């Protein structure tokens, strides 16, 4: 697109210089000396060349932003060909310009037809102004889209929506249940995943390990802080693979399934807490992403 504008700019400038002896840039009788007019024309061309350089820099930033957004959305940048100008084309105008015999006989224009003409330097400047505003508008819109994509990525990364065990099956759900030790109706703060001993336990989301120790009730236990007052708890493990202060990513192996603490057999007890209050993990585990 920039090459097209440069070509139009040079063509318009040459045409303006060619007829400057008797006409101004806008087709009116020239009132200033030819030398002064050439200086004004040169200054106008220099100014538009500067504008073209600025727009080229802004378009380069847009290309970079577009590639980054494509990668964030899972697309391959080459599918959009950011580094290539879009193809353009069309048939030649059917109307004659009437300039010289080579142009052929004049043809009467049809209804609504426009006779092709050269652009003046002033018109080129107006089109550059319009294009500059459009580039700024597209940049603002892409910036908003990037913010939305970034927020969605953060949600998928730091919200505990990943299964903590890949091969586990529910053996006890969140809420009221009959306690397996006392037979009383008690509230269960998490969900239990039945799995073979030694099955990897992975972080349901990225975060920082805040607890990695043995607890009398939970056995070998890990807690991960995911920010925004969200904490996940992994209990009854046979072996811990992380320590307090470790930064883990979603899917990182943090422990192995076991039956330590208050447990009737090998399983993972998994909790999600928000501001210290137990939440139903199924609300998070069903989150897409």
Q: Which two tokens stand for residue 30?
A: 């020239």
More confident residue, 220 or 284: 220
Indicate the pTM of the whole model. 0.54
Tell me the C-alpha distance between 23 and 118, whole Å.
14
Q: Residue 103: is its pLDDT beyond 60?
A: no
48-78: burial string, b at 16+ Cβ within 10 Å, e else: beebbeebeeebeeeeebbbebbeeeeeeee
2-46, pLDDT tens digit by residue? Answer: 444 444 444 454 444 444 444 444 444 444 455 777 777 777 777
Given the structure tokens 């007829």, which residue do they identify?
19
* DSSP letter assigned to residue 270: E
Q: What is the dihedral of CA 139, 142, 144, 150, to 10 degrees?
A: -130
Domain boundaries, the chain: 2-85+119-158, 169-285
Judge contact between 85 and 3, C-beta under 8 A: yes
Superfamily for the 169-285 domain:
Glucose Permease (Domain IIA) (2.70.70.10)
53-67, 113-127, 139-153, 163-177: which is most confident: 163-177
Q: pLDDT of 206-223, one tens digit each?
A: 999 999 999 999 999 999
């Amino acid at each position: 697109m920039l090459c097209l504008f440069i070509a139009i700019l040079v063509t318009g400038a040459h045409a303006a210089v060619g007829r400057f002896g008797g006409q101004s840039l806008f087709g009116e009788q020239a009132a200033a000396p030819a030398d002064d007019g050439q200086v004004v024309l040169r200054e106008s061309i220099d100014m538009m060349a500067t504008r073209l350089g600025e727009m080229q820099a802004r378009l380069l930033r847009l290309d970079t932003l577009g590639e980054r957004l494509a990668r964030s959305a899972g697309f391959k940048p080459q599918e959009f060909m950011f580094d290539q100008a879009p193809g353009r084309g069309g048939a030649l105008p059917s109307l004659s310009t009437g300039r010289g015999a080579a142009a052929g006989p004049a043809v009467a224009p049809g209804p609504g037809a426009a006779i092709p003409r050269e652009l003046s330097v002033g018109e080129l400047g107006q089109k550059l102004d319009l294009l500059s505003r459009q580039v700024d508008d597209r940049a603002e819109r892409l910036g908003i889209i990037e913010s939305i994509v970034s927020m969605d990525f953060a949600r998928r990364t730091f919200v505990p929506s990943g299964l903590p065990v890949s091969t586990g099956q529910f053996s006890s759900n969140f809420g009221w249940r009959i306690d397996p030790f006392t037979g009383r109706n008690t509230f269960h703060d998490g969900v239990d995943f039945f799995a073979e001993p030694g099955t990897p336990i992975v972080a349901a989301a990225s975060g920082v390990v805040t607890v990695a120790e043995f607890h009398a009730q939970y056995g070998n236990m890990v807690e991960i802080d995911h920010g925004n007052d969200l904490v996940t708890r992994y209990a009854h493990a046979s072996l811990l693979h992380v320590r307090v202060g470790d930064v883990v990513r979603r899917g990182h192996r943090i422990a192995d399934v076991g039956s330590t603490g208050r447990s009737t057999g090998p399983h993972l007890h998994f909790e999600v807490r928000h501001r210290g209050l137990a939440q139903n993990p199924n609300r998070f585990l069903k989150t897409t992403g």
